[in-house]
């Protein structure tokens, strides 16, 4: 709340706004002063070589990682911290959880709950975090499963599903919380090539519906077609950013061109 008051307009205009984020692991700097802003309904794709810090940036946005300095606002609210006399103090566990409940996160390795069926996976958080009734949660979960094309798999355990199916369930699970923002962390990297398409299709559909998304990916085709804005990261900084046609056709920076060249060679 303090954040809104302090940052007024700037914060509310954007779904995500990051200012000068620095993240270190020991002596290693993973993020070195990142600025980022994502508007409502925008799809931002982050590309870059391994170890460039793109996954860490994503994890900082829902506070799975603490930051060493800088500020992140989601929907005008300061993420993970509150300001006490001008100093950043980590928020209470309850506040952090409340904030995370509004942000969907899709992991590279799905992280479905193996002891629960597909349907139970999806209704777990709506029932136990949002306090929805089971009937209500199941109804919405069934709708979502239909949307990701897995209506008939509701009572199956995750290990019976292919990777692509698991990832689609994971997306449905995140959507069940009715998030305002979806974060995708290399959602297709752990999949066999023939399964990538079905997951990208769901993501594309979501983008078309107007969901605000930040997508870390190596799928350049997806970035080119779906992204409103592309960010290229390397060595802990944002090297270059802009609309996809600019990044993919007329990249200004040599590192960007090198990276895209290598990708296209594959």
Partner 1 sequence: MSLRQSASLIIFLMGGCMILSLLLTAYTNVSSTDKGSAPNATQPSVTAPQDLLTPGTLTVGSDTTYPPQEFIDTATGQATGFDIDLITAIAQRMGLKTTIVPAGFDTIIDSLNAKRFDVVISAVAISNERKQKADFVPYFNAGASLLVQKGNPRHITSTSDLCGLNVGVQKGTVEQDYLTTADKACKEKHKSAINLTILQNQTDVVQLLATGRVVATYQDSPVTDYYLQQNAGRFDVGGSVVNAVAEGMAIRKGDTSMFNAVQTALNQLKADGTYRKLFKKWGIMSGELPLNRPQGVTGVFRWDIFWQFLFSPFFLRAAWTTLWISVVAQFLGVVLGLFLALMRMSRSPMLNWPARAYIWFFRGSPLLVQVLVLFDGLPRLPQAFGLDPRLWQAFVLGPITVVLIAFSLNEGAYMAEIIRAGITSVDAGQMEAAKSLGMRYALAMRRIILPQAARVIVPPLGNEFNNMLKTTSIASVIGLLELTNTAQIFGSPTFTTFELLLVATLYYLLLTTVWSYVQAWIEKRLDPNRTNKLDLQKKGWTQRVLGFGAADTRGAGTLVSGH
Q: Please give the residue ranges that form the binding site for partner 1 (CB under 8 A).
A: 62, 64, 92-94, 97-98, 100-105, 107, 109-116, 124-125, 128-130, 157-159, 161, 163, 166, 173-174, 177, 190
Measured from the CB atom, the residue of 164 and 244 that comes closer to partner 1 is 164
Q: Can you tell me the distance from the alpha carbon of 182 to that of 129, in angstroms, rounded to the nearest whole number?
A: 18
Cβ 255 to partner 1, closest distance in Å? 30
Token reading at 90: 């980590």
Cβ 173 to partner 1, closest distance in Å? 7
What value, to the nearest 5°, has the Cα angle with vertex 208 and ends 100 and 16? Answer: 35
| C-alpha dihedral sign at 203, 207, 212, 213 | positive
Q: Residue 224 phi/psi, 5° resolution? A: -60, -45
Cβ 239 to partner 1, closest distance in Å? 28
Cβ 157 to partner 1, closest distance in Å? 5
Q: Are 121 and 112 in contact (CB under 8 A)?
A: yes
Question: Is 29 in a helix, a strand, or coil?
Answer: strand
- Hey, how many other C-beta atoms are within 10 angstroms of the C-beta on 4? 15
- Hey, how many other C-beta atoms are within 10 angstroms of the C-beta on 112? 21
Measured from the CB atom, the residue of 107 and 248 that comes closer to partner 1 is 107
DSSP annotation of 152: G
Closest CA to 74 of 168, 167, 4: 4
Cβ 126 to partner 1, closest distance in Å? 9
Measured from the CB atom, the residue of 166 and 212 that comes closer to partner 1 is 166
Measured from the CB atom, the residue of 159 and 264 that comes closer to partner 1 is 159
Measured from the CB atom, the residue of 116 and 237 that comes closer to partner 1 is 116
Q: Can you tell me the distance from the alpha carbon of 203 to that of 208, in angstroms, rounded to the nearest whole number?
A: 9
Cβ 110 to partner 1, closest distance in Å? 5
Cβ 150 to partner 1, closest distance in Å? 14
Measured from the CB atom, the residue of 54 and 229 that comes closer to partner 1 is 54
Q: Can you tell me the distance from the alpha carbon of 208 to that of 135, in angstroms, rounded to the nearest whole number?
A: 29
Tokens 């603490």: give the residue.
66
Measured from the CB atom, the residue of 1 and 94 that comes closer to partner 1 is 94
């Amino acid at each position: 709340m303090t954040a809104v008051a302090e940052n007024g307009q700037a914060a509310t205009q954007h779904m995500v706004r990051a200012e000068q984020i620095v993240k270190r692991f020991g002596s290693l700097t993973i993020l070195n002063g990142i600025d980022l802003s994502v508007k409502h309904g925008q799809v931002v794709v982050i590309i870059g070589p391994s170890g460039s810090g793109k996954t860490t940036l994503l994890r900082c946005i829902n506070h799975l990682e603490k930051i060493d300095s800088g500020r992140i606002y989601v929907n005008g609210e300061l993420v993970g911290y509150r300001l006490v006399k001008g100093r950043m103090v980590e928020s209470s566990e309850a506040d952090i959880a409340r904030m995370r409940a509004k942000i969907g996160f899709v992991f590279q390795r799905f992280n479905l709950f193996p002891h629960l069926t597909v349907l139970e996976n999806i209704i777990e958080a709506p029932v136990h975090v949002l306090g929805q009734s089971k009937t209500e949660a199941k109804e919405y979960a069934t709708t979502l499963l239909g949307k990701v094309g897995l209506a008939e798999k509701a009572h199956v355990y995750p290990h019976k599903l292919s990777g692509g199916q698991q990832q689609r369930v994971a997306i449905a699970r995140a959507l069940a919380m009715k998030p305002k923002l979806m974060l995708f962390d290399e959602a297709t990297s752990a999949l066999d090539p023939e399964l990538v398409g079905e997951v990208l299709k769901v993501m594309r559909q979501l983008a078309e519906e107007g969901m605000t998304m930040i997508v870390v990916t190596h799928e350049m085709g997806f970035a080119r077609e779906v992204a409103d804005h592309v960010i290229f990261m390397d060595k802990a900084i944002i090297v270059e950013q802009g609309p996809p046609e600019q990044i993919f056709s007329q990249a200004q920076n040599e590192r960007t061109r090198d990276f895209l060249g290598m990708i296209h060679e594959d």
